[in-house]
Structure 1
Amino acid sequence: MRAAMLNAGLARARALALTLLITLPAPAGLAQVVEAAPLDDLIAAATAGGPLAQRKLGQRYHDGDGVLQNFATAAQWFGRAAEAGDAEAQNRLGRYYHSGLGYEHDPDRARHWLEAAAAQGDPDHIFDLAAVLEPSDPEQAAALYAQAADAGHMDAAVSLGVLFQNGNGVTQDTARALQLYEAPAAVGHPRAQNNLGLLYVRGTGAPQDYDRAAKLFAAAADQGLGTAMTNLGVMYENGFGVPQSDDEAARLYRMAGELERTEADAAQAFVYDARLQPLDPGMLSGVARMARTGDPVAQFQLGWALVSAEAPQPPHWAQAARLFQAAADRGHAPSMTNLGLLYVRGLGVPQDYVLGQMWLVLAATAGLPDATLSSSALRRKMTPEQINEAQSRATQAWQKAQEDAIVFDIR
């Protein structure tokens, strides 16, 4: 009876594996990660010189939206649209030169393109130029923040308030800072609420008001601002504007600390293929046999069993890496994600952010939101050079897969 059930389970698993492969695009369609006509039309329009199409195609490559994410390719299309006068493309191109993504870091070219975009009057672009100039030219940044704030840009008003609060680029004026924070805080801007609360705690720019400060910190904390959670905790610890409570203070401090850890943990959590039923432990031996035959679904399941086990040991991580590698090489997207995370965490393989990002970019292109989250989180730990190298390697891997007629597991 048990053997019959095992055989039936293995048959279902094998049928699922075949179904996954049969229903995917044909090998020649590996690069067709969106419906052919819309992408082809966009490429044709961009190649013909349409600035809007060029910018939209650049954005697709920037986001990895239906195409392999590649900032260098995005920069090329943004550059063409920018030369034609597209303000959004000029802004994007300036930010690329500023960050060193897609192109080498070039402050002069960054400023040139950011100024070109800002000159066309979009408050978002004026704000972006101000933010880039603030460290080196706070006086000019203040003037630009004021221009954007006058046009209703809330972030610009808050940033200008910070300059007035600190006397950076302008004469220090806490009353003016408070005035600038008031309007954004009233409509729920968490950074404005937190900064305004600090002014009321200190009694600078306005009479000291612990009650109002506590309410502002609470409003910002409710929106997930960790700094405001800490500040509200201080209020409870000291009984300022709220009943004194060491327990509530401790809870808020924990929340602030856990907020960052939770985001980091989510970005490094291994993923299971949502299309598969949970793996029955009784089927492991059969799954292992299927994995040895090269079945990518079985390889993934066996790798998952190893990484999700209680307290895996180094040999388990190494074996899981080999299994995920084998399945990833066959185009299995969840395996790509998990292999990338093993490289990020240095489990079973040497820690390598470039290879980790390469696999996450490939998995994200195949349509896995978890891979997109992990890729974005990892970029914050990488240098621009590492990011550019990872995307270049992903492009090379994608092209090799085309040559080898490997079908990616596209969602």
Structure 2
Amino acid sequence: MSSTGSGYDGYARRFIRDDSGDYKFSARSPYGDASRDDNGDRAAEGLGFGGGRRSVGGCGPADFGFASGRAQIRARDTTMREAVDLYNAGRYSESLAMFKKSYSKIGYHEAALMIAKMHLYGVGTEKNVPEAIKWYEKLALQPNRSGRKSISTYMTPMVEASMTLAKIYLIGFDVPKDSKAARKWFDRAYDVGYAPAGKTLGDIYYFGYDTPRDLAKAVKHYTEAAQHGYAPAQYALANILYSGEETIKANPKMALDWYWHASKQKHPGATYAVARAYDLGENVKADPDRALSLYKEAAIGGDGDAQNALGTYFYNGQILPKDQTTARKWFEAAAVRGQADGMFNLAVMMMKGEGGDTDRTKAYAWLTLAQKAGHPNAEAVLKILEGRMTPAEKAAADALLAPQT
């Protein structure tokens, strides 16, 4: 039996099915029948079970009585609150016992999740990963009442249990690493309505993490999660469509559409892509002012490409006033994020003493990193810089680049 609903009556409706829509249910009424008064007598004709107490959706009087009874018990139950209070007071072993009592009595998903966590990390009991896994599985395999019909980024207890199981097997947390089991639990998290799990599955197949790379499966998962509004999946799908890969044909126009959807959710990379489209006039009418506004938004959001672009605006004095100090700051922000152009541009400004002090030591270090990142001009400028450096500056640069121990 199943149904939907929320609150006091909603909890009881989990135990019944009323597809007809004409049954007047209330957990507080006798037998759950709102057409009867407190004495159980008929309150109005044409409502409720009728004289013969008909069943609704396959559920009879006993089912409605059970549902109502369960709701009454739940309404009076205090075990979950007591368990949380004990936990917050640091009385962990007592809290664990109360969480178990709460789960046994009512079946709270939150109680099962806390029991699993406490066994996993050894809180209020000895660390026991197999026992934790048992509780996580108990919760993760609960009947799925919504699933992909209501995909979101909301982390329900069932989702958290599934995602935790996936991570346990992915990293081998006191169990042997098992990529197949990890994928199984990521898939379960997606089945119970968690969009980020779909993106993760897409990444697994796209990059071939412990499984053969499968672009078709990756695109399938990215597309499903993207269609449910998950910005990182929209961005990943757009990146594939922008240039095309293997059997996936390039479709820059569709890519821009997905970038746009993700940018509406403040995804920095997608916002940069939309800014670039307005900057270059790709599949949209060129709009430098709008491009600059979007570059700013993406740069503030932490996108390295946008930070480098914004630095370039300030360095060249394009639209914005020329400001080498601010340009250097944005190039540095991009460089710290590993953006090759940002590293190169910052190094050149440090060589010349633009926007700040001359620093050949750091310039050499940044140029070396830019070269390793594939910047085409870094090697040539490195040779020029090396010829200008003192032995002490070169030694200091080598020290900066040496692995930290």
TM-score by length of 2: 0.47
Which structure features the higher share of helix residues?
Answer: 1
Larger Rg: 2
TM-score by length of 1: 0.46
Higher relative contact order (CA 8 A, sep 6+): 1
